[in-house]
Amino acid sequence: MASTIAERITPHVTCIRVPIPNSPLRWTFVYLVDDPDGPVLVDTGWDDEESWQVLLRGITEAGIEPEDLAGVILTHFHPDHSGLARRIPEVTDAWIGLHRRDQWLLAAGEQNRSEVVRARMAEYAIRAGAPELTAEEEDHLSLHSLRESGALAQYRDLEEGSSVGTLLRIVETPGHTPGHCSVQISRDGLLLLGDHLLPRITPNVSVYSWDDGNPLASYVGSLLRIRRLAPSTPHMHPAHEGAVDDVPSRVDKVLAHHGHRLQELITVLEDGKPRTAWETAGKLSWSRSWDQLGREPMRRAAIGEAGAHLVFLERLELLERSGSTTLKWRIAPSWQRQGSSALHAACEEGYHRFCEDGVDEGDES
């Protein structure tokens, strides 16, 4: 990236480097699209005063006044993307769009949103088998989630194929979050990926509700879709790290990572003992040891990712689920009897077959 805050990357799109405080990612790349119907911002950055000033300065460097913004597209609800959304009304009456599935996670439209989010987080932890949160932790997490995500009471709905202005089109890419969206600017041969696919880091894929969806299936399907778009879309830019230069190769590496994770999970469970998502996550390999992850928020992300893989294997009928208050999974008895080699082979075959077609009848996406 150039030393300036704002850099033109295609004829209609400028990338603004908005800092993330105390993060190894360093920046969120916020994209400003100079659309004939009015400038549109894609993501906003972390809610921090320095980040806010950098964003405003970057918009101005691109030759646009912040008050002239027509709209803001949030690729997903995570705070490094949506955090500054709450500051946007200070300078403009631009609409702010977010997919309805991510709106649900922020309790948009609900009264007493912090209470709703707190109750959901507490229930999530109980069903995952995690240690019970204290009242102080629940308060901190619910307020932290709403505040750092720049949560608003209402958003404009984003949905597949909808046009924004003249140049932009919404491409649903669920998986990293249930409502994650990418943004296509066909005239520039550009797809803005949010966190869907990054050059080096493998994005987290988590369960957000234990009763709905198949997050890993959604994510794999989205990866396959992006790979199909690659020949006609030479420029693919995520919100971190830099452009993805070889999309098919990167997609293959990420798919292989999740295939390995599924096999690792089978190994953890093949002793036949039922385990919660918390217990399972504690036995998987992470970039740091389980103890070093701390309780929040890294362990929550690990639990969610373990859960996404548990649900995927359950849909392949290799695992069975039990419990209602606290959920547990074990190897399905019919597969347990066939032994370890057959089980791992079935996992590999089922995942490979899914990666060929990306079809899952139970997936909401």
What residues does each domain of the chain span?
6-106+149-245, 113-144, 256-357
- Give percent of the chain with pLDDT exceeding 70: 89
**DSSP secondary structure letters along 228-293:** HHGGG--EEEESSS---S-HHHHHHHHHHHHHHHHHHHHHHHTT---B-HHHHHTTS--SS-HHHH
Give, in order, the Cα–Cα distances in Å from 69 to each of 61, 90, 155, 159, 270.
14, 12, 16, 21, 55
Q: Cβ distance 215 to 207 under 8 Å?
A: yes
Tens of pLDDT, residue by residue over 187-236, are 999 999 999 999 999 999 999 988 888 999 999 999 999 999 999 999 99
Cα separation, 53 vs 49, whole angstroms? 6
Cis ω for the linkage preceding 66 (within 30 of 0): no
Whether 362 shows a pLDDT value over 50: the answer reads no
In this structure, the number of other CB atoms found within 10 A of the CB of residue 204 comes to 18
More confident of the two residues 146 and 152: 152
Instruction: Please give the pLDDT value at position 130.
Output: 86
pLDDT tens digits, one per residue of 327-361: 999 999 999 999 899 999 999 999 999 998 765 43
Check for a shared fold between 6-106+149-245 and 256-357. Answer: no
| Winning range, highest mean pLDDT, from 123-127, 158-162, 177-181 | 177-181
Place of tokens 């036949």: 272
Cβ atoms of 217 and 354 closer than 8 Å: yes
* SS3 state of residue 339: coil
In terms of pTM, does the model score above 0.85?
Answer: yes
pLDDT grade, residue 124 (50/70/90)?
confident
pLDDT (mean) for 115-130: 85
**More confident call, 299 vs 134:** 299
Q: Looking at residues 254-283, what average pLDDT do you find?
A: 95
pLDDT at 3 over 90: no
User: What length is written for the chain?
Assistant: 365
199 CB-contact burial (10 Å; exposed 0-12 / middle 13-18 / buried 19+)? middle
User: 8-28 pLDDT, tens per residue?
Assistant: 999 999 999 999 998 888 999
| Residue 363 binned pLDDT confidence (cut-offs 50, 70, 90) | very low
Computed over every residue of the chain, the mean pLDDT equals: 89
Of the pLDDT bands very low, low, confident and very high (cuts 50, 70, 90), residue 125 is: confident
Integer Cα distance of 9 and 11 in angstroms: 7
Q: At what angle do helices 340-357 and 215-229 cross, to 10 degrees?
A: 50
Q: For residue 297, what pLDDT is reported? A: 66
pLDDT score, position 296:
56
| Confidence check: pLDDT of 147 > 90 | no
CATH number corresponding to 6-106+149-245: 3.60.15.10
* 256-357: in CATH 3.40.1160.10: no
Q: What is the mean pLDDT of residues 265-280?
A: 95
The least confident of 84-98, 219-233, 278-292 is 278-292
Q: Say what the pLDDT of residue 112 is.
A: 74
8 Å CB contact between 150 and 85: yes
Q: Which two tokens stand for residue 138?
A: 């629940």
Q: pLDDT at position 154, please?
A: 75
Burial 253-284 (b: 16+ CB within 10 A, else e): ebbeebbebbebbbebbbeeebbbbbbbbbeb
